[in-house]
Amino acid sequence: MTPVALSVVLEWLSKSGLVEDGSLECGGVENRNLECRDLVCRENFLLTGFAALDKANESDVTFWLADTCKSETNANGFPAEALRSVKAGLLFVPKECAASTSAASSAFATSAAPGVKCVVPVKNPYHAMVEFLKEFGENTSGLVSGCAASAEVHPSAVIEGFVGENTFVGPNCVVMRGARIGANCRLEANVTIYPNVEVGEGCIFQAGAVIGSRGFGFYEYEGRRLMVPHVAGVRIGCRSSFGANMVVAAGFVSPTTIGNDCHFDSFVQIAHNCVLGNNIFMASQSGIAGTVTVEDDVEFAGGAQSAGHLTIGKGARIAAKAGVTKNVPAGRTVAGFPAVEIDQWRRSVVNLRLMAKK
């Protein structure tokens, strides 16, 4: 995002309908001091980014759902104890947590979130974060575009971002504004790289691969299901390969991340907010839902799937057509649906066949 002063964000919030009327009456915005009703904001400073609660720094915007709001997947959020270690510039919290008096807000910020510079009570923190991203999330400064002198680009390709040394870009590829492709990469025909995607060196993208598109995420607000803007992009390490027609979706407030030496077959789906380590292999038509952590050296066989908000431990193997619904410990091999240890699954299959013969 383009850096923006806290005072500008607070002024926007006061007119947005996201907070109760009059709860953001601030003075002194032209100076470093801010005097705001019902807020703990003692200075004006630049907000330079956004991130998930556990990844935010002192100039980031983030949000906390507590127990009064649910994410689009109804997954549990961070407990209140986690706020004590949070470092953030601006934190949206449910208004029930930081009550509608300045004393209550001050007490909440001091005791529950001492590392946060500005705590803003809102009706719905998730919706407030979405609206903030719509207003301020786009990065309009410091973007580099063009191609290195040694890059080979087909005449039909569209390059609005940056392409590094010795990289090949094939027919009808699109590298959008804000994307960056490292050296010695290869983009075959019809590859699409969305904004805010960063690719390391030596990666290969087969025909039709799509990297950084919006994820399939929705949330409920005032009786309606609204789309989640996945604007945090994708970060990819080095020497990874991406099969034909596979998709890597962008993250919401933190990027979808893929490490080094990962290899994906055709029609693989990596959903929004996933974090993949190094040396991961996923065969054709396998996929992982949103916010899954896949540790190093994991293998997915053909058609294997994982539900969202899970962790697949280091060295785990997911057998063909398995459906993972719970965390998989490191080194475990699972099969079936719902996925269980493969020996247990084999015994259950044998028992079913024996029962069928009776």
Per-residue model confidence as pLDDT tens digits over 39-90? 556 578 999 999 998 889 999 999 998 754 444 444 446 777 778 888 999 9
Per-residue model confidence as pLDDT tens digits over 288-329? 999 999 999 999 999 999 999 999 999 999 999 999 999 999
Count of Cβ atoms closer than 10 Å to residue 252 Cβ: 27
DSSP code string of 141-176: SS---EE-TT-EE-TT-EESSEE-TT-EE-TT-EE-
- Alpha carbon distance 180, 157 (integer Å): 15
- Alpha carbon distance 120, 142 (integer Å): 29
- Alpha carbon distance 46, 102 (integer Å): 23
- Which residues are CB-contacts of 88 (< 8 A; sequence separation ≥ 6)? 53, 56, 57, 58, 60, 61, 62, 113, 115, 116, 117
Per-residue model confidence as pLDDT tens digits over 235-281? 999 999 999 999 999 999 999 999 999 999 999 999 999 999 999 99
The alpha carbons of the chain give a radius of gyration, in whole angstroms, of 23
pTM for the predicted model, two decimal places: 0.89
- Alpha carbon distance 259, 236 (integer Å): 6
* Cα angle value 80/84/86 (rounded, 5°): 100
The pairing of strands 26-27 and 35-36 is: antiparallel
List residues with catalytic annotation. 272
- Residue 267 tokens read as 């029609």
